[in-house]
């Protein structure tokens, strides 16, 4: 029996522009000792593109915007501020960054990594909210890992 040739997944063709930004931003966050989870549902019907947890329990949210229209259509972004210590936009090099609010962080990213161009101001979460959000994110991550290991769950 001839073994099947091993093929390398073509990740770039399988990802949307926003997913490529999220991957690069997550890699950048990892280099700062933050671990990120994608597509995190939050109270109020929000969904963070990336929610990252730092070594001291800091919570950062990153919204990935692939084009001007994507940003203009986002009517709920200010709702994320009550769920994080710092809020960032992640955009690619062609994005018109001047249209983004200056009182938020800015990450320049591609599919392979990124760079923080502007650090977001810190607005610390209340301890009770941080604890509840951290627990919710941990449970979501565990559920996703269990689903990978056992799709029948």
pLDDT tens per residue across span 84-112? 999 999 999 999 999 999 999 999 999 99
Please give the residue range of the domain that contains residue 115. 13-149
Residue 7 lies inside a defined structural domain of this protein: no
Rounded Cα distance, 42 and 1, in Å = 51
Residue 51 or residue 2, greater confidence: 51
Total domain count, the chain: 1
Residue 4 lies inside a defined structural domain of this protein: no
Residue 1 lies inside a defined structural domain of this protein: no
Residue 8 lies inside a defined structural domain of this protein: no
pLDDT of 40 over the 70 cut:
yes
Nearest to 92 by CA among 28, 2, 46: 28
pLDDT of 16 over the 90 cut:
no
* Average pLDDT over all residues of the chain: 91
Residue 42 lies inside a defined structural domain of this protein: yes
| Beta-strand pair 113-118/105-110 | antiparallel
Residue 83 lies inside a defined structural domain of this protein: yes
Please report, for residues 36, 62, 108, the alpha-carbon distance to residue 46 in angstroms, rounded to integers and kept in the order given: 17, 13, 23
Handedness of CA 53, 131, 84, 45 (dihedral sign): positive
């Amino acid at each position: 029996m001839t073994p099947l040739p091993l093929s390398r997944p073509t990740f770039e063709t399988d990802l949307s522009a926003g997913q490529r930004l999220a991957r690069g931003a997550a890699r950048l966050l990892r280099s700062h000792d933050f671990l990120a989870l994608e597509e995190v549902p939050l109270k109020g019907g929000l969904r963070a593109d990336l929610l990252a947890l730092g070594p001291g329990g800091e919570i950062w949210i990153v919204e990935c915007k692939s084009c001007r229209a994507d940003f203009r259509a986002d009517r709920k972004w200010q709702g994320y501020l009550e769920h994080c210590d710092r809020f960032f936009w992640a955009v690619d090099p062609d994005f018109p960054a001047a249209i983004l609010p200056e009182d938020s962080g800015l990450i320049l990213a591609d599919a392979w990594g990124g760079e923080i161009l502007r650090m977001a101001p810190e607005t610390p979460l209340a301890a009770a909210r941080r604890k509840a959000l951290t627990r919710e994110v941990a449970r979501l991550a565990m559920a996703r890992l269990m689903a990978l290991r056992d799709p029948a769950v």
